[in-house]
Amino acid sequence: MGFSLAGFGAGLAEGMYERIEEERKFSSAALQGRIERASVLKLQQEKQAKEMEDELRARKAELIQLGVDDPELQKAYLFSPTVFEAFKKAKSDPEMSLKIDPKTFIAANKQLLSTMTGTVDDAINNAVRAKQQVEPAKLLEPQGRSSFFAPSASSQTKRFEQLASARGLTLQDVARAESGVGPKMPEPVGAINFEAFPKKAEKELTPDQTQARLESKALKLAMEKGDDDPETIAATNAFNSYKVRREKLTPEQDTHAKLMSRYQAIVYGNLPVPPEERKKAEDYLRNYEESKKRNEAKGTPDDKVPAPSSLVSIARTAGANAVRASFGTGAASKQLSFIENADGSTSVRYTGNDPDMQKQLIRREQEGIVASLRPYMSEGKVTDKKVEVALQAFGISLDNNRRPVLIDAPAPAPAPAKPALPERTPTAAPTKPTANAPQEGSRMKSKSGKDMIFKNGKWQYIDYQALSGEF
């Protein structure tokens, strides 16, 4: 078989041509696909930019409607969406809109704001469209065995530029699209200045609202914790006290009684307070006593002290509250009933037959009654006829110093002792009480005439103000 060198050469040349043509078509298709993807990515980024631009321009229009005309202030609000929403909400509040100053409402970052040069529209354009230069899209040199047949990088770059130009793109546009980085808002340049944000003044509750709230609290605690729970007892007493005082006292009389209770505790009870408050208390008590003497000389009734019937209603409720506070969780609680009277007061009834317990209940009730009327006394002495009449309604007389005389009652029975746990370490033996030591709960009067009680091994003054919980 003969061999033709010319035929071999022709066949080799034809094979190389076909391979080169195949590589050229493959490279051209690859470039075309790359351009298509870049074009789609560019359209997506432009759509995002348009949406951001529309949002910013709408925000700018709202700022103008809200009275923000200063360009720098507009930029600060434009690129601080949280502050903008808070400002818009505040301006929509009729009670606050006139108090909002857009300049003080936002705390702007001057350094970041200074980078936004030009007009507000320029700042919007720069924010949503990337203007910085990027490196043009590049092509890699052919690698491997196909590099011999593939088109050169320079020829491919020219082809790349032609295909991109046909789609309205530059190689920079292709590189920017292929980066995958879409437009985004710049860093916020401002925060809410909470010190300039006007707070709504809390509206003072009306008497009806206050009473309803106290009643609701008492009922809720009774349902959740029971009638004998200490929180329920305190809430019930607060409601009863407020209800009867509101019914029987004018606002001026109620305020006077509370001030007298507080100031007498400061002056006569040595309540520790700052010197200026002590002087204020002394001045108030002195001025009231002088005013009272002037009214008596003129025959003018003291309108700060209510009528005896009102004092009786208030004192009756205070006595019932004192009993509930002391015996609401004790053994006598099952034999106590609290009655709502037609005059708005609350009274207490004992259905048991234990004489000692009955005396203890009466004593506690009288302590609450006297405590409620103490604001109308002078150093514990009854100087007003209306107060004397109110005390007599409960069978409470006065001694030679015109101080209320309360019923003597035996000390309450001590609570059953809990079984003692075994001691791990020896302790000192308890001191035995002497034969003449007073019993726990014994009462006496001090040399100054104040009531005292023997409690926890020592004599203590009785704090009627704390017992009643009225003021």
**Residue 94: inside a domain, yes or no?**
yes
**Residue 291: inside a domain, yes or no?**
no
pLDDT of residue 428: 42
**Residue 175: inside a domain, yes or no?**
yes
My answer on whether 58 and 121 are in the same domain is yes
List strand residue ranges (DSSP E) for 5-126, in order: 106-108
**Residue 298: inside a domain, yes or no?**
no
Torsion angle in degrees (nearest 10) through CA of 419, 422, 427, 430:
20
Sign of the dihedral through C-alpha 207, 210, 213, 215? negative
pLDDT of residue 244: 94
pLDDT of residue 141: 54
Last residue of a domain, one of 168, 196, 224: 196
Per-residue pLDDT of the chain (471 residues; tens, 9 = 90+): 444 555 545 554 455 445 545 555 555 666 677 777 777 777 777 788 788 888 888 988 988 888 888 888 888 888 888 888 888 888 887 766 667 788 888 888 888 888 888 888 888 888 777 655 666 656 555 554 454 445 555 666 666 666 667 666 777 676 666 776 667 777 788 888 887 766 666 678 888 999 999 999 999 998 998 888 899 999 999 999 999 999 999 999 999 999 999 998 888 887 788 889 999 999 999 999 899 888 888 888 888 999 999 999 999 999 999 999 988 766 667 788 899 998 889 999 988 888 988 999 999 999 999 999 999 998 889 989 999 999 999 999 999 999 999 998 876 655 454 444 444 444 444 444 444 556 665 666 565 555 666 666 666 666 544 444 333
Full domain range(s) for residue 349: 207-249+306-412+438-468
My answer on whether 114 and 211 are in the same domain is no
Residue 239 to residue 245: CA distance in whole angstroms: 10
pLDDT of residue 432: 44
pLDDT of residue 79: 86
My answer on whether 125 and 232 are in the same domain is no
Residue 50 to residue 82: CA distance in whole angstroms: 21
Angle (nearest 5°) at CA 14 between 12 and 19:
95
Residue 125 to residue 129: CA distance in whole angstroms: 6
My answer on whether 31 and 112 are in the same domain is yes
My answer on whether 216 and 190 are in the same domain is no
pLDDT of residue 470: 39
**Residue 92: inside a domain, yes or no?**
yes
pLDDT of residue 203: 77
My answer on whether 218 and 171 are in the same domain is no
Global pTM reads: 0.51
My answer on whether 314 and 183 are in the same domain is no
**Residue 3: inside a domain, yes or no?**
no
My answer on whether 162 and 220 are in the same domain is no
How many helices (H) and strands (E) are present in the chain, helices listed first?
16, 9
Residue 38 to residue 294: CA distance in whole angstroms: 99
- Total domains in the fold of the chain: 2
**Residue 281: inside a domain, yes or no?**
no
Residue 322 to residue 433: CA distance in whole angstroms: 31
Residue 241 to residue 261: CA distance in whole angstroms: 15
Write the burial class of residue 366 (CB in 10 Å: 0-12 exposed, 13-18 middle, 19+ buried).
buried
Question: How would you label 39-54 residue by residue, b for 16+ Cβ within 10 Å and e otherwise?
Answer: bebbeebeeebeebbe
Structure tokens at 430: 């308890």
My answer on whether 212 and 133 are in the same domain is no
**Residue 268: inside a domain, yes or no?**
no
My answer on whether 213 and 124 are in the same domain is no
My answer on whether 16 and 76 are in the same domain is yes
Residue 27 to residue 100: CA distance in whole angstroms: 64
Structure tokens at 309: 């019937």
My answer on whether 41 and 161 are in the same domain is yes
